[in-house]
Structure formats: C-alpha cells, structure tokens
C-alpha cells in the first residue's frame, strides 16, 4: 500500500461571462489552468461579439490543465471559439453552434478546432455556413459528446497528477503512425515506472480509494 493522502485531481468550474472583455477573461482562465488538474467552463447562451484574435486565443490551447467546455445554450463568437478550443467539448441537447454564415470565413479558432477534428470537419467549416446543431457538431467531431440537460458532466477527479498530465499530452498530440505509437508507449512506461497503475489496480481489488504518489 502506498502511504500518504489520496490525490484528487482538482476540477475548477468557471462560467463564461458574455459581458466581460474577452482578453481579460481568457487571461484569467489561463491563469486558473496554469497548473496540472482540470477546469470546466460552462457556456450559457452567447451570440454577440467578434471572434478573438489567435494571439489572444492560442495560450488557452496550451494551458497545463485539461480544459472542458459545457455548452448549455446557443453559442457564437467569441465564446464559440473559446469553447471549441477546450480539450473536451460537451454540448447539451438542443443547443446550436452559431458558425459564420453568409459567406463569411471561419475564424482562426473555429479553423483550429475543425482541423483538430479532421479533414471532413475542416472541409465543412470552409464550405458550409450557418448554425450547426449539437448532433451535427458531434458527427463532425467539433464536440465530443451530447448530453441531456439533466445529465451530470463527466468527471475526471481521482486521477493521479501524472496520469492526468499524460492523458492531456496524448490528447493534444498531433503525432500519427509510428510517432504516435512511440509517444503512447513512452507515456505508459512513465506511468508504470511511477507505480500509479499498480496502485490503481490494487485499490480496485481492495475496494478502497487509490493513494497516488503524484
């Protein structure tokens, strides 16, 4: 048994405020997510404003915590880009992503999210326009799950700091093929070297909470 207190990955919860300046709000979110852990940002209806410049948005994609968007209302710029650039994006049933319409080019944040989702999503972002429903966004890969309003947001607490950080790095990696496999194996070696998987398995068999070192 590993001695010491159980480490529970801190999950911070923030709410996007449409009335607050985008740059100041993003700076505060980045500061709150500057250490390993997790942050959920709740997005209510927000459909007015201009898209943030990439220089303002890009630091949000590089914070150390795992970032999660909980979209609970129709969302357009600038909240749209902030939500889509989270590591995990959850949309509630009935919400819409208010993408550019009328021939307007997608913003840098939308293009980044579409590029992460794949060539099909990127092509759709460039060739199509207008509001996208949650199921369509899920099919394109812009959101990762669609939940009912009353469903609880998926939690990732109780993980070790090392496991959470490794998962974040693999999630954000653009590696493919042999490079992706080598990166995944390296992450597994690190975690097994720290003894975290062994402690997790032992805790499961002993019907107790794990006590991770990290």
Domain ranges of the chain: 11-147, 161-205
Q: Are strands 66-71 and 88-92 parallel, antiparallel or unpaired?
A: parallel
Q: How many CB atoms within 10 Å of residue 125?
A: 23
Specify the pLDDT at position 59: 96
What average pLDDT score do residues 65-82 get?
94
- Decide which of 95 and 169 is more confident: 95
Q: Which of 57, 73, 76 is nearest to 129 (CA)?
A: 76
Specify the residue for token string 């009935």. 94
What average pLDDT score do residues 59-69 get?
91
Q: What is the pTM of this model?
A: 0.76
**Looking at the domain that runs over 11-147, which CATH code has it been given?**
3.90.226.10
pLDDT at 2 over 90: no
Per the DSSP assignment, residues forming a β-bridge with 45 are: none
- Decide which of 175 and 85 is more confident: 85
DSSP 85-106: TSSEEEEETT-EEE---TTPPP
Specify the pLDDT at position 138: 96
| Whole-number Å distance between alpha carbons of 192 and 197 | 6
pLDDT digits (tens, 9 = 90+) for 115-147: 989 899 999 988 888 899 999 999 999 999 999
Specify the pLDDT at position 187: 62
- Decide which of 84 and 64 is more confident: 84
pLDDT at 8 over 60: no
Specify the pLDDT at position 98: 94
Specify the pLDDT at position 49: 84
| Whole-number Å distance between alpha carbons of 178 and 83 | 31
Cα separation values, 5 from 79, 158, 194, 213, 214, Å: 38, 12, 16, 8, 10
Per-residue burial over 169-182, b if 16 or more Cβ lie within 10 Å, else e, is eeeeeeeeeeeeee
pLDDT at 67 over 80: yes
Cβ 57 vs Cβ 81: under 8 Å: yes
Q: How many CB atoms within 10 Å of residue 197?
A: 14
pLDDT digits (tens, 9 = 90+) for 9-61: 567 899 999 999 999 999 999 999 998 888 899 999 997 789 999 999 999 99
Helix (H) or strand (E) holding 146: strand 145-147
Specify the pLDDT at position 91: 96
């Amino acid at each position: 048994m590993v001695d010491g207190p159980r480490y529970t990955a801190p999950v911070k919860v923030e709410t996007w405020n449409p009335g607050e300046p985008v740059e100041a709000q993003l700076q505060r979110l980045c500061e709150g997510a500057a250490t390993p852990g997790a942050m959920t940002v709740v997005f209510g209806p927000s459909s007015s404003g201009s898209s943030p410049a990439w220089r303002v948005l890009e630091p949000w994609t590089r914070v150390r915590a795992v970032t999660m968007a909980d979209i609970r209302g129709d969302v357009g710029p600038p909240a749209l880009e902030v939500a889509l650039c989270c590591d995990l994006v959850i949309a509630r049933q009935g919400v819409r992503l208010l993408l550019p319409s009328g021939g307007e080019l997608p913003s840098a944040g939308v293009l980044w999210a579409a590029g992460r989702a794949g060539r099909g999503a990127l092509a759709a972002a460039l060739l199509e326009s207008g509001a996208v429903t949650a199921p369509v966004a899920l099919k394109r890969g812009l959101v990762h799950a669609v939940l009912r309003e009353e469903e609880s947001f998926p939690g990732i607490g109780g993980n070790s700091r090392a496991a959470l950080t490794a998962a974040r790095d693999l999630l954000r990696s653009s590696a493919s093929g042999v490079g992706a496999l080598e990166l995944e194996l390296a992450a597994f070696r690190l975690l097994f070297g720290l003894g975290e998987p062994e402690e997790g398995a032992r805790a499961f068999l002993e019907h107790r909470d794990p006590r991770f070192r990290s």
